[in-house]
Amino acid sequence: MTGVFTIIAASSFASLIFTGPLQPFTGNGIWLMLWTAFIVGIMVALTSSLRGVVAIPQDRIAPIMAVLVAGVIAQMPSATPVEQCRAAIAALTMVSLITGLILFLLGRLKMGDLLQYIPYPVIGGFLAGSGWLLSVGAFRVLVGHPLTLGTLPELLSPGLALKWLPGLAFGILLFFIMKRAAHPLVPATMLLGAIALFYLGLALSGSSLTEAREHGWLPTTVTGQTITRFPGYGPFGSVPWASLAHQFNIIGTILLTSVVSVLLTASALELATRQEVDINQELRSAGFATSLASLGGGMVGFHSLSLSRLAASMGAGNRWVGALSGGICGLGLLVGPSLISFLPKYVCGGLLFFLGFMFLWEWVVEARHKLNRLDHAVVLLILGVIGTLGYTQGIITGVVAAIILFIHNYSRVDVVTNTLSGAQLSSNVDRPVRFARELKEQGQSIYILKLQGFIFFGTASHLLDKIRLRITNAALPPLRFVVLDFRRVTGLDSSAMFSLRKAEQIGQKRGFTILICHASAELASELSYSEAPAQGTGNLRLYPDLDHGLEMCENELLKTMASAPRQELRLTEQLQELWPKTASPAGLLPYLQRQEFPAQTHLIQQGDKSAGLYFIESGHVTARLEFTDGRTLRLRTMGPGTVVGEISLFLGGVRTASVVTNEPCVVYGLNPAGLARMEQADPALALAFHRFMVCLLAERLTNSTGTLRSLLE
């Protein structure tokens, strides 16, 4: 069944390509198509990663090949018909060889996955354009005239309409019956039935085969005796290189359509047959088969989605299906095109129209429910350009549409993942409670933007608009700092750099500072090239991470607060903020051990056994993770009036992180023994201490919960 269908389809493709001045050589075209079906049918079946796959000369490539051949012939007006035919066959086979080699090379280099990034609407536009060319080509096969506005009056004349209407009706009937009754016997039955109906009508009318040929119902000449019917290597000596150079855009379209078609067909068959497919193997299989077929004068051929699904629906999921189908086409080579000369034109033309109408229906009608309006409009745009101006203009339109579509879609992705303030997100620096609360109150003057992706001209303006919107928000305090988190930014273009420079100028006028955090080495280099000031100076500053950037903002805010410390406070004064009124924090001192540590000294060593907590009276310490390879990760920084190591006092175990002094520090330690003495000697003081610790941990938990909620909103 698949063999018979392929033979008829090969005849249709030959009639489509070998038209006009090449019509006397249609027989040679049939030989080439049958040779292609023979080679690719067997080779793809044996080398594909899918079982039961059927490969044929491709209906998606045939109309583009017809455009290529027509372009080559148009540049040889003074050549004889034989020379034109030789040039056409040479061009066809050379392009097929190039396509096959590139398909094989892509599969060999395992680039199949990378090729799936072609925009889906652009693929749909190319396929819809192929469907249009197949449908229009059907008229050329049926009546010998192309379907254009100029030829439309002639085609509507009663004499010609009688020839193309049956083919059109047969194609539409086949399409709708296939849509409603997808039985595997339907296509073969209708094709054989259409042929039988023709000869029945011929017998009832009393007309002979000669009369049918004279009236254009059967092919007039399909032998092509003036050209070697099986060209072999001969065509490569007649390649019209100059003409092919002018058709580079059509060749590119053939390459692109071939690659995309193999990928789409293989993916669709993977779902339909529930087999695991190797995309790169399918590229190699199609490329090797096409290259081998081109050595004998064949064209591009690879997997047929419809015939492969037909075989799968009948339960014939083995490699013999495609191999035997190709073998049947090989038998057609023995019989030659003389047998094909008895195929009615309306069957071949109707089959072409059916294939083209199927593509148009899928991408014009059904795609409305699968694509959004913009993507569907791109499909229609490419189709319209191909239909009115040609494939070259359609290719250019497709490329431009792909670029515009990418820019539009990517511009809709907000580069700002979170918009926060200093009241919602703070640095990992523990401060006395009164200072932390005042920073929360003043935190709205810190504007934090977490960014993502690649920032380019389509999204950079959005970032600048957000900063401007925050500046003009009268409900919030004046802006002091804009913090840009670049941790998830992959890169930025010159337009983004211009936007940063513009934001810096706005900051100079409005009195706020821009901080860029987590900038990669490449981004830092680009910012330096833009004459961005170094870290810690100027209106645009760089910081290694968001934590250090926020710490700088908070330190600057603390300098302007009325309650900022003017002198060092004693520990008991620092604890007074959260300490319960039932007891004085001064009672703690007899149970604490005062210690002084120089800078860069381990107060707590990661991995050591727990030994209690420390109250920081002066200086700053940093809790950090220490890795075996020497790297460290900052967790928190603690200053005067804060507590470190409290968890180990209550839970015991080993220290999970180290605490290192940043500067000379004075600390007070409380170990488990001291806590036990306090609880026994002064229960009221011990209760006040525990309440203090509960309030301290509750304050930290509240801040962490608020930060987490802000990040999730």
Do residue 371 and residue 500 come from a single domain?
no
Do 402 and 422 sit in the same domain of this protein? Answer: no
> What does the pLDDT look like over 409-426, one tens digit per residue?
777 777 888 888 988 888
Per the CB < 8 A criterion, the answer to whether 270 and 50 are in contact is yes
Contacts of the segment 211-218: beta carbons below 8 A, 24+ positions apart:
216/143, 216/144, 216/163, 216/345, 217/163, 217/344, 217/345, 217/346, 218/341, 218/342, 218/343, 218/344, 218/345
Alpha-carbon separation of residue 649 from 183, 409, 645, 678 (angstroms):
77, 55, 7, 14
pLDDT of residue 205: 85
The verdict on residue 288 lying in a domain is yes
Domain boundary among 560, 583, 613: 560
Residue in the structure block whose two tokens are 């009164």? 434
User: Does residue 568 sit within a domain?
Assistant: no
User: Which CATH number do you get for residue 504?
Assistant: 3.30.750.24
Domain's final residue, options 537, 560, 583? 560
Residues in the chain: 713
Weakly modelled stretches of the chain, pLDDT under 50: 221-233, 529-536, 566
> In this structure, are 52 and 152 located in the same domain?
yes
Q: What is the pLDDT of residue 531?
A: 45
Q: Is 384 domain-assigned?
A: yes
What pLDDT is attached to residue 229?
A: 47
Please state the domain count of the chain: 3
Looking at the structure, do residues 306 and 325 belong to the same domain, yes or no?
yes
Going by C-alpha positions, the residue among 519, 524, 534 that lies closest to residue 487 is 519
| 678: in domain | yes
Provide the pLDDT for residue 223. Answer: 44
Predicted pLDDT at 705: 79
Q: Is 127 among the domain residues?
A: yes
Identify whether residues 57 and 90 lie together within a single domain: yes
pLDDT value for 429: 85
426 with 404, same domain: the answer is: no
Instruction: Please report whether residue 643 resides in a domain.
Output: yes
Q: Which residues contact 110 (CB under 8 A, 6 or more apart)?
A: 280
pLDDT given at position 39 = 93
pLDDT at position 233 is: 43
Pull the structure tokens for residue 562: 């009325």
Q: Does one domain contain both 683 and 581?
A: yes
Is 648 part of a structural domain of the chain? yes
Domain boundary among 531, 560, 589: 560
Tell me if residue 632 falls in helix, strand or coil.
strand
> Do 432 and 483 fall into the same domain?
yes
Q: How far apart are the first and last CA of the chain?
A: 60
Q: Do 403 and 424 share a domain, yes or no? A: no
Report if residue 139 sits inside a domain.
yes
22 and 131 housed in the same domain: yes
Q: Does residue 438 sit in the same domain as residue 372? A: no
Query: What is the span of the domain harbouring residue 141?
Result: 2-408
For residues 296 and 647, give the distance between their C-alpha atoms in angstroms, rounded to a whole number. Answer: 81
pLDDT per residue as tens digits for the range 473-485: 988 999 999 999 9
Helix (H, G, I), strand (E, B) or coil at 473: coil
Q: pTM value?
A: 0.59
- Written in H, E and C, the secondary structure of 291-359 is HHHHCCCCCCEEECHHHHHHHHHCCCCCCHHHHHHHHHHHHHHHHCHHHHCCCCHHHHHHHHHHHHHHH
**Pair 390, 500 in one domain:** no
